[in-house]
Homo-oligomer: A and B are copies of this chain.
Amino acid sequence: MKEIAPGFLDVVRARRSIREFLPDPVPEEAIAQLLEAASLAPSSCNRQPWRFVLVRDRAVLERMGAAVKKRFDELRAAIPAGELTEEMEMFRVFFSFFETAPLVVVACYREMPDLLARIVARAAGPAVSTTEKIHPELQSLSLAVMSLVLAATNLGLATSVTTGPLIAKDELKEIVGLSRHWEIATVAPVGFARGAPGERPKRKDLGQIVSFL
């Protein structure tokens, strides 16, 4: 089959979750490509229920990192000594490493009213449900995030997609200036990798994740 971009799968294979970054800034032309890739993702009813806050200001990143570390320490202190405190220390880095990247994408979504569900509920009462919450807006945003991540990888940029920082979600919302209508889904640092990544974490065999009918 003819490929639009020969080597596309090499981009997918090159993507790794990177947690250590050089201080070098992300070039402007790369940022433009990342944003184009995100904005062209499909979304539920083409509502594009997403916002991307791109943070490069070192002082803002430090405030974000400090908020996450403070919350981490509060959670750690809430756990009785000896119970998993060592494990928590091991995981500490996963919560706040994002702040060391030269660019952090704070990816946000906004839930929209489910109009069909509302109409049906108003007419027939809750007995006739449409479907349980399927979070189409969150799904749409995640599609856009992956588009952005692969566009970054294509340009030799390192990324990761992290939810750990959201232990301090309310604080982060305030620092980046989000109104209450928006939720942060993920925090994605972007930059040039410091050093080569280790071995890829093992993937499940396809037999475990795929079935055919």
B151 x A40 contact (CB < 8 A): no
The residue in A37, A177, A202 that gathers the most chain B C-beta atoms within 10 A of its C-beta is A37
Q: A146-B41, A155-B1 are in contact. Are A128 and B9 (CB under 8 A)?
A: no
Cα A201 to Cα B40 in complex, Å, equals: 10
A13 within 8 A of B: yes
Contact present for B4 and A11 (CB under 8 Å): yes
Contact A156 B54 (CB under 8 A): no
What is the copy number of this chain in the assembly? 2
Q: How far is the CB of A150 from chain B (nearest CB, A)?
A: 7
The answer on a CB contact under 8 Å between B119 and A84 is yes
Residue numbers in B under 8 Å from A153 (CB-CB): 4
Task: Give residues 4-45 of A contacting B (CB, 8 Å).
Answer: 4-15, 17, 27, 29-30, 33, 35-37, 39-42, 44
Query: Could you mark each residue 101-131 of chain A with 1 if its beta carbon is under 8 Å from any beta carbon of chain B, else 0?
Result: 0000000000000001001100110001011
Q: Tell me, in angstroms, the Cα distance from A204 to B35 when the chains sit together.
A: 12
Query: Is A142 part of the binding interface, using a Cβ–Cβ cutoff of 8 Å?
Result: yes
Partner of A80, one of B17, B80, B123, B186: B123
From the candidates B54, B138, B156, name the one contacting A138 in the complex (CB within 8 A).
Answer: B138
User: Chain B nearest CB: distance from A211 CB in Å?
Assistant: 5
> Is there contact, CB below 8 Å, between B156 and A2?
yes
Contact call A132/B169, Cβ cutoff below 8 A: yes
User: Is B1 a contact of A15 with CB atoms below 8 Å?
Assistant: no
B1, B83, B186: the one contacting A139 at CB < 8 Å is: B186
- Over the window 30-68 of chain A, the binary record of Cβ atoms lying under 8 Å from chain B Cβ atoms (1 yes, 0 no) is 100101110111101010101111111100100000000
7 example contacts (A-B, Cβ-Cβ < 8 A) are as follows A4-B154, A5-B7, A44-B163, A52-B211, A53-B210, A79-B123, A139-B142
Query: A5-B6, A55-B212 provided; 9 other pairs, C-beta below 8 A?
Result: A4-B10, A6-B7, A9-B33, A40-B203, A42-B160, A80-B123, A131-B167, A134-B163, A139-B142
